[in-house]
Amino acid sequence: MPQIKKVLIANRGEIALRVIRACRDMGIRTVAVYSTADKDAMHVKLADESVCIGPAQSSESYLNESAILTAALLTNADAIHPGYGFLSERADFVEKVEQHGLIWIGPNADMIRKMGDKVNAKQTAIKCGLPVVPGSDGAIKTIEDALIWADKIGYPVMIKAAAGGGGRGMRAVNDANALREVFPLVKAESKTAFGDDTLYMEKLLLHPRHIEFQVLGDKHGNVVIFGERDCSLQRKNQKVMEECPAAVLTQKQRDDMIEICKTAAKKMKYTNAGTFEFMFEGGKFYFLEMNTRLQVEHPVTEMVYGIDLVREQIRIAAGEKLGYTQSNLVAHGHAIEFRINAEDPETFVPNPGKITLYAPSGGLGVRVDSAVYSGYTIPSTYDSMIAKVIVHAQSRPACIMRAERALDEFVIEGIKTTIPLQKKLLENSDVRQLKTDNHWLEKFLSEEEKQGEQSEEQKSE
Amino acid sequence: MTSFRATVENMSKLMDEMGITELDLERQLLLGLYRKHIHLSKQQTVATAPVGFVQTAKTNTEDKISGHVLKSPMVGVAYLSPEPGAKPFVNVGSEVKAGDTVALVEAMKTFNPIKSDVDGVVKEILIQDNSAVEFDTPIIVIE
């Protein structure tokens, strides 16, 4: 069994710290890599060694495969942890890492190819028995075909041009009459717009929630699935707040889905950490995509299950066995994560700059994963997430109360953050009563904006 | 159990061997009655380049340099001569013209020439042959 004694972390920010911490807990030495913009960054300070790999632009530093490999070889690291983003889902890089005799802490290149690409992933998902959004299995040529498919799938449905994309060449249809009317129109439209009138049909989900299941698989065929995370509060596909477990599910729905995911992960011989993402509507799950890496929101699962997922990733990469089974995983209480971004809480314009005072919240059940400190200047080159506040309590209501306390305590001065928005969300009755879906937050924000404008007008009158 | 004194002596010896100059030792009795921090600090002797990157040395020199500095464009291993045993590209005092190769940096088995972008005289060579360099590590000073 290969032993991992030194890990190079090919990332920056809070996730680099997260991995460094897991390594130190395991007695493993760490190598940080950094760009010239990050020379004062926390991950550089905390790692045992650090190597400057390039200038500020990610393409020349954190995405610079050759620089990262060279740094790993020169520091005699045995393994590379990619964190999330950057090189974490690049199959070609994973192969290079292995060719140089290094261990990749993540799923292998084949798995990333199979599940990282959305079209491939859906095919694999179907083969492995995961529920997918029902649709016509191919092109729909005539209105008669269309009506038959729509009956089979169930209204409402979405007619899509095969050549379309980015929201163009799509039309939602609620019943057969509308379908008769719209079908020839979309066909003609896609002919003129894309030069191709091939159409297909998919079930339209109106109010889906985003629910995902965490997978861990070792190299000996053992797989466990952790109970789900609800990440429905999103803005522009960016998650703002995540919970574990999803309180909308019944225990039966949860258990059934864990069983389905476990069978699928075993079938695809999944190794290391990954996540099956689903849309959930009307009591049913529909496969969305798979993330073949650690996710930003992994801490909520850690808090509820008491397992260090990064430690598990490293153990699995070293060839160790999981050492526990599905029945050993016991959920305890409820956890919520808040992504604190250095952004204006109303306009979401990034607000990099110097943090003059940083005093994170603490106390029982509060965990803050962050890489900033008082006096740190947030570079404008990278993403704006500066901290994750993870709150854990016995129940969801208790967790919400503790979260209000934790966000209230959190002091960050010198820059604007999204904390005021997250406080508002916690007070909202829809959020509290789980009356939300993937589109809820954007609606909420546009209403807030309108109200803001109205009160501005009242003031000026 | 070895005495604390023996531990300190051992650590001190190890520090000499490994070229470590500072070390924090913390002593804690089982009942936590008192804590004692011993801070071992030694005069830095001649820096024998350890394997890997010498970061403190690098930043120190960077502050003092005056003149035109050629820096490494990448992480890798720097060589001062075209092949082992061969004459170095330049010595202190050599005249260089813009475009002359002054060193090589090897990364992923490719050798990348470091070329001077100015005419001048080599004032200082800041690295040892066959040493690891980071992106932006100063290599040669030209005046």
Q: What is the mean pLDDT of residues A40-59?
A: 95
Determine whether the interchain pair B136/A52 forms a contact, defined as Cβ–Cβ distance below 8 Å. Answer: yes
> At CB < 8 Å, which residues of chain A contact B?
36, 49-55, 61, 66-67, 69-71, 74-76
Determine whether the interchain pair A70/B107 forms a contact, defined as Cβ–Cβ distance below 8 Å. Answer: yes
From the list B97, B74, B83, B90, the residue with the least C-alpha distance to B124 is B90
Mean predicted lDDT score pLDDT of chain A: 94
Is some CB atom of chain A closer than 8 A to the CB atom of B132? yes
Q: What is the mean pLDDT of residues A183-201?
A: 87
Determine whether the interchain pair A75/B52 forms a contact, defined as Cβ–Cβ distance below 8 Å. Answer: yes
Which one from A18, A293, A367, A402 is the annotated catalytic residue? Answer: A293
Determine whether the interchain pair B55/A66 forms a contact, defined as Cβ–Cβ distance below 8 Å. Answer: no
Is some CB atom of chain A closer than 8 A to the CB atom of B95? no
| DSSP for A291-338, written as a single string | E-S--TTHHHHHHHHT--HHHHHHHHHTT------GGG----SEEEEE
Q: How far is B58 from chain A (nearest CA, A)?
A: 12
pLDDT at B85: 86
Give the tens place of pLDDT for each residue, B72-128: 999 999 999 998 889 999 999 999 999 999 999 998 888 899 999 999 999 999 999
Determine whether the interchain pair A70/B55 forms a contact, defined as Cβ–Cβ distance below 8 Å. Answer: no
Query: Could you tell me what percent of chain A has a pLDDT over 90?
Result: 85
Active site residue A21: no
Q: Is the pLDDT of residue B36 over 70?
A: no
pLDDT classification of A288: cutoffs 50, 70, 90:
very high
Q: What is the mean pLDDT of residues A254-270?
A: 97
The better pLDDT of the pair A170, A299 is held by A299
pLDDT at B26: 59
pLDDT at A460: 62
pLDDT at A191: 87
Q: Could you confirm whether domain B55-142 is CATH 3.40.50.2020? A: no
Q: Is the pLDDT of residue B23 over 70?
A: no
A70 contacts in chain B (CB < 8 Å): 74-76, 107-108
Q: How far is B75 from chain A (nearest CA, A)?
A: 6
Give the tens place of pLDDT for each residue, A400-420: 999 999 999 999 999 999 999
Q: What is the mean pLDDT of residues A321-350?
A: 95
Give the tens place of pLDDT for each residue, A423-447: 999 999 999 999 999 999 999 999 9
CATH class in words for A209-449: alpha beta
Q: What is the mean pLDDT of residues A120-133?
A: 92
Q: How far is B130 from chain A (nearest CA, A)?
A: 12
CATH assignment of A6-105, among 3.40.50.20, 3.40.50.360, 3.30.70.120, 3.40.720.10: 3.40.50.20
Determine whether the interchain pair B52/A76 forms a contact, defined as Cβ–Cβ distance below 8 Å. Answer: yes
pLDDT at A164: 73
Q: What is the mean pLDDT of residues A354-365?
A: 97
What ranges do the domains of chain A cover? 6-105, 143-203, 209-449
Q: CATH 2.40.50.100: which residues of chain B?
A: 55-142
CATH assignment of A143-203, among 3.30.300.30, 2.60.40.720, 3.30.1490.20, 3.20.20.10: 3.30.1490.20
CA distances A145 to A151, A158, A168, A201, A365, Å, are 10, 14, 22, 10, 56
Q: What is the pTM of this model?
A: 0.84
**Partner residue opposite A67 with nearest CB, options B51, B75, B137:** B75
pLDDT classification of A367: cutoffs 50, 70, 90:
very high
Give the tens place of pLDDT for each residue, B46-71: 333 334 564 444 444 556 677 899 99
Is some CB atom of chain A closer than 8 A to the CB atom of B29? no
Q: Is the pLDDT of residue A355 over 50?
A: yes
